[in-house]
Amino acid sequence: MKRGIATAVLVLAASGSLLATAPTASAQGLRDLIGERSESRTNLRDLIMDRLASREDLRDLLRDRLERRDDLRDLILDRLATRDDLRDLLRDRLEGRNDLRDLIRDRLSTRDDLRDLLRDRLERRTDLRDHTSDRSATRDDLRDLLRDRLERRNDLRDLILDRLATRDDLRDLLRDRPERRNDLRDLILDRVRDRDDRDLSPLLNRIRERMGGGGGNS
């Protein structure tokens, strides 16, 4: 742009110098010179207008580039903000994953504790069943023992009754023996009276002595 202005200035200076150096030129030559100067001025005006239009175009271009740069800056800022948001989102996802891992670990620990609790309850139930079985067996053994003791008591009662009956029989027998002895004595005396008193007197005395001794002992 500055170069075009300088060219226009040089053209005007050349025209002025031509006018100064040719005062004696003809009117036709002056007319031609004026025509050329008019064309040069027109060309210069067109050149200036083109340069101004080019300057406007360049200004518009610069404005567009600045706007694009601003748009690019905004886009970059948006991208950075989006990247920060994405980083925060990823951080939140990672924290959520860690929380989920901790939750799963806690659930697994709780499941292990629940499994141990169930195992303990099953073992206690088994121990209770065994204890109940032992108690039942002990109760059966105690029932059998009581039955045996009752049978033994009945046997002992029967034995005592038998002993008592035997004692009563023995008492009756002892009570009957003196009577039988007296009956035997009377029988012997009757038999002896039927015989000769002289032949049987020594035997009779001996029997009396034995019978008397036996009666005293009874």
Q: How far apart are CA 44 and CA 34, in angstroms?
A: 15
Say if 192 falls within a structural domain: yes
Say if 79 falls within a structural domain: no
pLDDT at position 163 is 82
- Average pLDDT of the chain? 78
Number of domains the chain contains: 1
Say if 67 falls within a structural domain: no
Contact 51, 4 (CB under 8 A): yes
pLDDT at position 217 is 46
Say if 182 falls within a structural domain: yes
Domain carrying residue 202:
174-217
151-197: pLDDT as tens digits: 988 888 888 888 888 888 878 777 777 777 777 777 777 776 666 55
Say if 199 falls within a structural domain: yes
Say if 178 falls within a structural domain: yes
Say if 135 falls within a structural domain: no
46-83: pLDDT as tens digits: 888 888 888 889 899 889 989 988 998 898 888 888 88
Q: How far apart are CA 59 and CA 52, in angstroms?
A: 10
Average of per-residue pLDDT across 30-34: 74
CA distances from 208 to 85, 178, 189 (A): 147, 15, 9
Q: How far apart are CA 205 and CA 193, in angstroms?
A: 13
pTM more than 0.85: no
Torsion sign, CA atoms 205, 206, 211, 213: positive
